[in-house]
Amino acid sequence: MARLHAQPLCVASALVVPIVTLAQPSWLTLSGIAPSWAVLWLLPWALVDGPVSGAMAGAAMALVLDGLGGGGLTQLPALMVLGWWFGRVGRRGQPIYRSLNLGLLAWMGAMVVGLSFWLQLRLVQGLDTPLLQHWAWHLCLAQALITGLVAPFIASWQLLLWRRRSTS
């Protein structure tokens, strides 16, 4: 069983996500929207370390990012579910080696995060205007697309690195 959470270097890699989220490199955006860095980090982590560790890592990442962002919206339920689901995919199915599969999983993960934000805006805060609906769908689709396009490069590199660390 992999134990990424017991290796300080792997845990320290989680600090890169808030830094990159705050920095938001402009050359890596689509219509000014950056990829979901939390999904790009969580996907390989959960695939290697399993569903329980994935859900806990998703919760920790969401709490850090929610503390930085504010605004009343949270990523906590979406990242916990994604961490658990990615971990189940990593444990139950064949090992994922193809970059296209990582891109598709990252795209679905970013859609889940985007739909979670949309649902919170609609149900919890009661905002239901046509402009908000258009904005929310634009944000969700753009972030999912850029996340899915970047994932084969970033997530596959992390997956290879963490698989090597977990076996040694």
Tens-of-pLDDT digits for all 168 residues of the chain?
A: 457 767 777 778 889 999 999 998 888 888 889 999 999 999 999 999 899 999 999 999 999 999 988 678 899 999 999 999 999 998 887 777 788 899 999 999 999 999 998 888 888 767 667 766 777 888 899 999 999 999 999 999 998 888 887 776
Structure tokens at 114: 């985007």
What is the extent of the structural domain holding 14?
4-167
- Quote the crossing angle between the two packed helices 16-23 and 51-69, to the nearest 10°: 40
Instruction: Look at the chain and report how many structural domains it folds into.
Output: 1
DSSP 139: H
143 touches 40 (CB < 8 A): no
Is-contact 147 107, C-beta < 8 A? yes
Judge whether 52 and 2 are in contact, CB under 8 Å.
no
What's the pLDDT score for residue 125?
66
pLDDT of 2 reads 53
User: Residue 75: its pLDDT value, please?
Assistant: 94
The amino acid at residue 119 is L
